[in-house]
Amino acid sequence: MKVFVIGVGLIGGSFALALKEAYKNVTIFGIDNNDAYLNEALELGVIDEKVDWNDLGEAEIVYTAIPVNVLCELLPEILDRVSDDTLVIDGGSTKSLICEAVKEHPKRRNFLAAHPIAGTEFSGPSAAIKDLYKNKTNIICEVEKTAFKLQEKALKIFTDIGMRIRYMDPHSHDKHIAYVSHLSHISAFMLGKTVIEKEEENERDIFDMAGSGFESTVRLAKSSPAMWTPIFQQNKTNVLETLEKYIANLQQFRDLMVQDDYESIYEVMENTNKIKEILKGITVKN
């Protein structure tokens, strides 16, 4: 099985390693505009060969793991270059504009729009993890627009690397992911920014006093701006909606503090504690 991975960092590299773990007969070909990444991926065994766009016609499967704005531009060209039997899968964190970019393409049936709910704050081939996708949810959008035989091929691959499948339309996906993922990243970036600005002359104090709570909360602030800026741009409407709600809740909490209304603060936190049961349910399902 010839699999071409476009973007050999965390997401693409982890997909490559997962396939190598699941199949003995797979060969991973890497494409990336960062030649250092390609060399690193080759040295680490994430990919087996370096190739370029002119070789896409030989691919049986193409997996794209590049910034979503770049993918919108390049996906039509990728479909132009692949054979009629090639399966093209994306792993982008937004779906509406990506699906829109190829809705009239003659080879739309070759494309499966997907979003694996998996990742870390790290990037590059060295961040790739063979079990990153295991027991994770993979959101598939507009499955009915993908050729049935290619759907079957994709679902077998996802099952073989241990993923659970959920189906969703692109607009619902983008709305929901703005709350559960995109807002989390913004919160982490802004928390990190706030602390850095407040303690800019006392960085040592940050390291000395930062406990596990701060570290886990701000972890996502280490994520790649090159990846996340286009995500926020593409999902602007939904992200703004989530921010307005989030800011309103922060303002309410501030007002309660000003009013010394700690009984209400307690109630707010107690009501929010139900998130434990929600997350417990998700963990059990995974």
Mean pLDDT of the chain: 93
pLDDT digit string, tens, across residues 225-235: 999 999 999 99
Q: Does residue 138 come out as left (phi exceeding 0), alpha (psi in the -120 to 50 range) or beta?
A: beta
Q: Of the candidates 115, 160, 168, which has an alpha carbon nearest to the alpha carbon of residue 144?
A: 168
- Whole-number Å distance between alpha carbons of 132 and 122: 12
pLDDT digit string, tens, across residues 37-72: 999 999 999 999 999 999 999 999 999 999 999 999
Please check whether residue 135 is in contact with residue 282, taking contact to mean a CB–CB distance below 8 angstroms: no
- Whole-number Å distance between alpha carbons of 77 and 9: 21
- Whole-number Å distance between alpha carbons of 62 and 133: 17
Residue 74: both structure tokens together: 């390049």
pLDDT higher than threshold 50 for residue 246? yes
> Taking the model in full, what pTM does it have?
0.88
What average pLDDT does this structure show over 110-118?
Answer: 97
pLDDT digit string, tens, across residues 268-284: 999 999 988 877 765 54
pLDDT digit string, tens, across residues 141-200: 999 999 999 999 999 999 999 999 999 999 999 999 999 999 999 999 999 898 888 776
Q: Domains in the chain, ordered, with CATH?
A: 2-170 (3.40.50.720), 172-285 (1.10.3660.10)
